[in-house]
Amino acid sequence: MKTSEGSHWNERTTQQLVRYEALFSLLTDIQAEEDIERIAGSVARKWKYFANAASWRLVLLRNDNHLLVEASRGEAVVTNIAELPEWDAALLETLRPRLIPVAEAPNIAPEPPPSITSSGVREIQVLPLLREERCIALLSVAARHEAFSDLDHRFIRLFGGYLTDRLTSILTRHEATEVLINRATVDPLTGLLNRGAILERSESLLASARSLGEPLSIVLGDIDFFKPVNDTHGHHAGDEVLREVARRLRATLRKGEWVGRYGGEEFVVVLDACGKDRTRAIAERLCEAIASAPVTIDAHEIGITMSFGMATFDGAGDETLESMLKRADRALYRAKAEGRNRVVADDEQAT
C-alpha cells in the first residue's frame, strides 16, 4: 500500500515538474520576444503542455481598437477589433469568472465563439483580468476531453495574467512609439505628413527614380485668397479650410501618391513613377476636387480654389529635390499670375 501511494506520489510529482518546466520554458521565450503574433503562436503551440488548454481566446481592452487573440490546434490569429463581440461584451458586463460545461453551451446567451467550442471541448473557463480594479483583458479557455483540474485552474490564472501583462506592456510601448513618430512626422492640424517628413519621403523617392531611370513628379499647391478667409472669418475658419483641403487632397490621391503640408496654406504632392501627362491629369483632378464645393463654417459658405505648379523628373540626369521644388514653385507662381484655380507645368510657355 505504501509502495503504491509512493509510486502515485512520484508520478504526480513528475507530472507537475514536467508542467512547470514547460511553463518556465514558454515564459523564457515570451520574455525574449517583442512581436505579439510570434508570442501568440508560441503560446498556441505550448500552452497545452502545462494546462489542459485545447483552445483559448484573449481580448486586450484598449481605448480605441481592442486586440483579439484566438488560438486553436497550435495556430493563433491576432486581429484588431473596434467593438467587442457579444460573448466578450457579456463577460465584461458581469466581470465574474465562470466555468461553463459545454453541455450547457446551447442554452447560454450569447453563444460561445466557434474558436473555443470545437469538437471534443468539455468545458470553458472565462476570466476577467483586473488591474487596480479595472478590467484590462477577457480570457476564455476551453478544455478538451477532460474537465479542468485544480492545477489547470491555477496555471490558467497564473499564466493568463502573465500573458496579459506581457502583451499589454508591448502594446503600450508600441503605442507610445507611434505617438512619438506621429509628433515627429505628422502635421497636427491637417493630419498630413509635415514638411520634414514629406521632404524626406521625396528625397528617398527621387533617389530611387534616379537609380531606376524612372520619372517622378512634384506638384506644389497653394490655396487661393487664403488671407482674406482669416481676415474675414477668423483663424478658426482658416484652420477649418486647411483641414478640409487636406481631406480632399487625401481623398483624391491614390496609393503611391504622397501629400504633405509644405507650410502655411501650401501643400506638396509627390508622384512616384509618374510622367508629365499623368501628373497633369492628377493635378487637374486635385484642382477640381478643391473647387467642387464650398466649405461651410458657422453657417457661412466659403468658396475655395487652389493653384498648382508641377515639375517632372524624366528619369535621366542627376536633378536634385531642391531644383525640382524651385521649378514647381516657379510654375505655381505663374498659375497665380495667370488667374489662379489652375495647373501650370514648369516647361509650359506663359499665356
> pLDDT tens digits, residue range 82-141?
999 999 998 899 889 999 887 765 666 688 888 888 777 889 999 999 998 899 999 999
Domains in the chain (CATH in brackets) are: 2-183 (3.30.450.40), 195-345 (3.30.70.270)
> pLDDT tens digits, residue range 305-342?
999 999 999 999 999 999 999 999 999 999 999 999 99
Could you give the CA distance from residue 294 to residue 174 in angstroms, rounded to a whole number?
39
pLDDT at 12 (0 to 100): 66
pLDDT at 7 (0 to 100): 60
The secondary structure element, H or E, covering residue 138 is: strand 134-144
pLDDT at 208 (0 to 100): 95
Identify whether 110 is preceded by a cis peptide bond (ω within 30 of 0).
yes
Q: Which residues pair with 124 in a beta bridge?
A: 100, 142
- The cell for 231 is 481676415
pTM of the predicted protein model: 0.67
Strands (E) across 73-210 are located at 75-81, 98-101, 121-131, 134-144
Phi first, then psi: what are they for 119, rounded to 5°? -55, 135
In the chain, the amino acid numbered 186 is V
Asked whether the beta carbons of 142 and 6 are under 8 A apart, the reply is no
The residue whose grid cell reads 461553463 is 100
Query: Taking CA 224 as the corner, what is the angle to CA 222 and CA 230, rounded to the nearest 5 degrees?
Result: 105
Query: Taking CA 204 as the corner, what is the angle to CA 219 and CA 268, rounded to the nearest 5 degrees?
Result: 20
Q: How many helices (H) and strands (E) does the chain have?
A: 9, 13
- List residues with catalytic annotation: 265
Long-range contacts of 25-34, Cβ-Cβ distance < 8 Å, separation of 24 or more: 26/50, 26/159, 27/162, 30/162, 30/163, 30/166, 31/166, 34/170
pLDDT higher at 290 or 48:
290
> pLDDT tens digits, residue range 135-175?
999 999 999 888 999 989 998 999 999 999 999 999 999 98
Task: Sort 247 into a burial class: Cβ within 10 Å, 0-12 / 13-18 / 19+.
Answer: middle
- The cell for 349 is 510657355
Phi first, then psi: what are they for 32, rounded to 5°? -90, -5
Phi first, then psi: what are they for 263, rounded to 5°? 150, 140
